[in-house]
Amino acid sequence: MRPLADLRPAADAGPRRRKREAIRSVARSQRGGVLRQRGARVIAEPTHTPDQWRLPKLRVDVNGDWFDDDVEITHAGILANLRSVLRRDAQGYYIQTRVRIPVEVEDVPFVVARIERRGEMLHAILSDGTDAEVDPTTLRVGHDDVPYCAVRDGAFEARLSRAAAFQLLALADYDEGTGRGTLRVGGREYPLRRRA
């Protein structure tokens, strides 16, 4: 990699030569754009017209990690934005910007990292650090004994991580005879059930 000093024009170069040398290609993006450096700023110049653009291939894996074309998205701000604009309808999950961008979700889009009782309510801390109130009536045990609950006002389901599942089991009473668990919250009993 060349130091930034190599990108600056020579002191004795004329104005026309200085402009040409001040802007050099430094990389080519995955989307086909060329990144050019001008001083300390890096700008992207698209090589495609808008009618040639393709939609990103967004995917959420079983652990709640987001991917774009099989490259994990790790920037906290981008992840927070994606999670906040995620929607679901009969056709599946999507993000609505100027265009509808489909999102492939392997299981559910959210993962509960921790679950705890606060007073008479259950609260879940999602893997993105947000806090969600859990309605005990939405708790269920799915395939392979993985527990799920509804989050974000019932708009989405969340998968409980292994740690959160053990925390939930510690809060529930388990009957060895029937093989069923019962959660007691707010003076009421909620059976933990398996969806067929």
Distance CA 148, CA 124 (A): 11
29 and 96: one domain?
no
Number of domains into which the chain is organized: 3
Residue with tokens 């969806």: 195
pTM value surpassing 0.85: no
Distances (CA, A) of 168 to 108, 112, 114: 19, 11, 9
Both 89 and 127 in a single domain?
no
Q: What percent of the chain has pLDDT over 70?
A: 72
The residue whose two tokens read 């392979």 is: 144
Domain hosting residue 40, numbered range:
4-50
Domain termination site, one of 50, 66, 83 = 50
Based on the fold, state whether residues 83 and 43 are members of the same structural domain.
no
Task: Give 65's Cβ-side CA count (13 Å radius).
Answer: 8
Statement to judge: residues 169 and 115 lie in one domain: yes
Backbone Cα Rg of the chain: 25
Specify whether 138 is located in the same domain as 68: no
Q: What is the pLDDT of residue 27?
A: 46
End position of a domain, from candidates 64, 83, 105:
105
Confidence of residue 99 (pLDDT cuts 50, 70, 90): confident
Q: Which two tokens stand for residue 124?
A: 């879940």
pLDDT digits (tens, 9 = 90+) for 119-138: 888 999 998 889 999 998 88
In order of 46, 75, 153, the CA distances from 141 in angstroms are 48, 32, 19
Whether residues 45 and 59 share a domain: the answer is: no
The CATH number assigned to the domain holding 80 equals 3.10.540.10
Please give the Cα distance from 141 to 20 (Å, whole number).
Answer: 64
Both 123 and 144 in one domain: the answer is: yes
121 in the same domain as 97:
no
Last residue within a domain, chosen from 41, 70, 105: 105
Determine phi and psi for 188, rounding to 5 degrees: -120, 160
Q: How confident is the model at residue 2 (pLDDT cuts 50, 70, 90)?
A: very low
List the alpha helices (DSSP H) in 53-154.
76-84
Shared domain for 174 and 114, answered yes or no, is yes
Which of 107, 108, 133 has the alpha carbon at shortest distance from 118?
133
